[in-house]
Chains A and B, each alone.
Chain A
């Protein structure tokens, strides 16, 4: 494959026998063996993901909080050092440019993790809003790798590398500098994209193979009593879908706003001005805008992106993601539908390549981990 970007783990994926695909310009594993087995490993043990393709952007300097507050829909000044927040970057029309995590790593050092498919767009967007502000901005995507450990055994696995990671609360992070002469950080956060407990680790590229080599070593498997299972994009998609987490390019786009996407909890309209706020105030109660819902299919056949949705023969929406959910053993989908068709319990029909399949609107998420 010509011109595809590679993560520091590319050779390792190939050596594991992974099937690699083009994802957002990166050559990444879609599966190592079976998507379902990888999915189950995350629900019952621990899975390992290479997420180095995600964009890692850093902000420091006295005006960094003001810049982030201007671009991000969630609130910045109330973030404690170590805290991580989910939110959106919107354009002036309220359309979603990206959904991101912002980390306040140190009092004056911030990290934003963006989608690989949007990294260049967001870097450009940040530069457009940088002038006149005293902010040091850097794209560290190709300097640092990023892996995720997800599942009920993720804590035990991460602990073998970082004995105090269990002290991190959900959506908190810490930054360490392994070598005082070394500017490269190690960042551990209790975050993820699977609906399970888990950690995401950022480190200099040269640590990538060291970490996965350790995690997948037979001695580590013996210590944990369970293998750390490498997982590809296929399982990442089925896991995030069960947890009803949106994926940019499917549930989110520049023609969708965060409120109709059901992400109003990450939009602080009363925090003061930010890009897109005026448009969002106008769109907030617009009854014409479709909203994101979850659908459970009556049969086992999954609806896929683009399938039209009908209510008593009338077109009311479109599927944006669908799959067979391995944990739930049901076909599920997320979709945008007209508000009169969006109440849980509403019975809809989905046109799956010419065949009508019944489906019911259900509350999201489809899956919540047992506490």
Chain B
């Protein structure tokens, strides 16, 4: 159900290696939990992310949630299309709905992120 070419954070972000960059978004599970996305606050290009720390916010009609960086590094690109229209995230969370691209620091622990299988197990345990 979750793409196996991605890695996942417990906080429901996904990460994908693209050359020497890491693309970050939020999972379908997070989108379903949030529903009705209305506003996105993303960092500027050049800002630094810290693994497990907030890099932005996503607001649904109901509430606001933090976005946590899966890896440490420098933000090199921000998806302005989703800032303009956050509903793109709901329709294509792993494609057009990506949020930021990070140039990871040396030693960034990409491989410590969850695999699709591990992430699915975590969601199954959260549902109870």
Contacts and interface: CB of A to CB of B under 8 A. Distances in A.
A323 B61 contact: yes
B22 to A, nearest CB: 26
A304 B60 CA distance: 12
A31 B34 CA distance: 11
Contacts of A302: 38-39, 59
Given A30-B62, A35-B62, A234-B62, A353 B39 contact: no
A36 B38 CA distance: 10
Contacts of A35: 35-36, 60-62
Interface string B24-51: 0000000000011011010000000000
A324 B59 CA distance: 9
A323 B59 CA distance: 10
Interface string A204-247: 00000000000000000000000000000010001000000000
B39 A324 contact: yes
A36 B61 contact: yes
A340 interface: no
B61 A238 contact: yes
A169 interface: no
A300 interface: yes
Majority secondary structure of chain B interface residues (helix, strand, loop or mixed): strand
- Residue of A34, A304, A324, A353 with most chain B CB atoms under a 10 A cut-off: A324
Contacts of A326: 36, 61
A155 to B, nearest CB: 27
Nearest to A299: B39
Contacts of B60: 35
Nearest to A237: B62
Interface string A30-57: 1101111000000000000000000000
B77 interface: no
B120 interface: no
A34 B64 contact: no
B57 interface: yes
Nearest to B90: A34
A238 B62 CA distance: 9
Interface string A278-312: 00000000000000000000011110100000000
B35 A31 contact: yes
B61 A301 contact: no
A300 B64 CA distance: 13
Contacts of B64: 304, 353
A301 B62 CA distance: 12
Interface string A346-360: 000000010100000
14 contacts: A31-B62, A34-B35, A35-B62, A238-B61, A300-B38, A300-B39, A301-B39, A302-B38, A304-B64, A323-B61, A324-B39, A324-B61, A326-B36, A331-B38
Given A36-B36, A324-B39, 5 more contacts: A36-B61, A238-B61, A301-B41, A353-B57, A353-B64
